[in-house]
Amino acid sequence: MTKKSEIHKRDPHYKLAKKKGYRARSAFKLLEFQRRFNIYKRAFYILDLGSVPGSWLQVSKQKAEKNLELYKDQFYHRDHFKIMGADVKRVSPIEGIKTVKMDITTPEFQNEIEAFFEDELDLILSDASIKKSGIKFSDCVNQTRLCFKILDIVKKNLKSKGNFVIKCFQGEDLNKFHKSLRRLFTEVQTFKPKSSRKGSNETYLIALNKR
């Protein structure tokens, strides 16, 4: 066993993920966002970008199923949910969820979204991450470039009042992206979850209530 995988297996979030049946420890980040910001409120149509191995899809399915029971009132609700996960790598299937093996930055991906949902989305999640080089400055530039492409997907597909969560890397370029989000959403919070690895420069932007 390599030193890295040994450390990984001793990690309490890794152990808890195994115990709870989640495919990755990242599930706990998403659960933290939910506790803090209620991102899944009235979310039935959900898109997850950069899904492999699939723990955010597992959490999303649980929350969407719960929402079908929770929101049966005169306000916005649906009687079914649709969830799609996309990654350049193959996502192992999850029953009731559509998964596509595709680069999310391509025009073909937009066709895939429209064909599946046939309507606007309630929630868009992105844990998509570039392959890190280890050089913090250029990693931040490249991750932010990816974030701007994802923002185009959000502009085209997220409904008014919809929520959006995205992984970013800390650095100068992040400010530009943060500003763009503030123009599109009434509330934008920068949030580093407790379950994020120590020493990692990742952070998340939680954008609520699209204008």
Ligand X SMILES: C[S@@+](CC[C@H](N)C(=O)[O-])C[C@H]1O[C@@H](n2cnc3c(N)ncnc32)[C@H](O)[C@@H]1O
- Residues that are catalytic: 167
26 touches ligand X (CB under 6 A): yes
Residue among 105 and 180 whose Cβ is closer to ligand X: 105
With a CB cutoff of 8 Å and minimum separation 6, the contacts of 70 are none
Task: State how far the alpha carbon of 141 is from the alpha carbons of 90, 138, 160, 176, in Å.
Answer: 26, 5, 29, 11
End-to-end Cα, the chain, rounded Å: 50
**CB of residue 51 vs ligand X: minimum separation in angstroms?**
6
**CB of residue 37 vs ligand X: minimum separation in angstroms?**
17
**CB of residue 141 vs ligand X: minimum separation in angstroms?**
15
Judged by CB under 6 A, the number of residues near ligand X is 20
Part of the chain binding ligand X (CB under 6 A), chosen from 19-27, 34-42, 76-84, 180-188? 19-27
Which residue sits closest to ligand X, CB atoms considered?
50
139 touches ligand X (CB under 6 A): no
**Rounded to an integer, what is the distance from CA 173 to the centroid of its chain?**
20
> Within 13 A of 198's CA, how many CA atoms are on the CB side?
5
Part of the chain binding ligand X (CB under 6 A), chosen from 8-16, 116-124, 127-135, 170-178? 127-135
- Looking at residue 83, its amino acid is I
List strands edge to edge, sheet with 202-210. 98-101, 82-87, 45-49, 121-126, 158-169, 202-210, 185-191
Residues 30-59 as x/- pattern, contact with ligand X by CB under 6 A: --------------------xxxxxxx---
91-100 burial code (b ≥16 CB/10 A, e <16): beebeebbbb
103 touches ligand X (CB under 6 A): yes
Which spans of this chain sit near ligand X (rule: CB under 6 A)? 23-24, 26, 50-56, 86-89, 103-105, 127-129
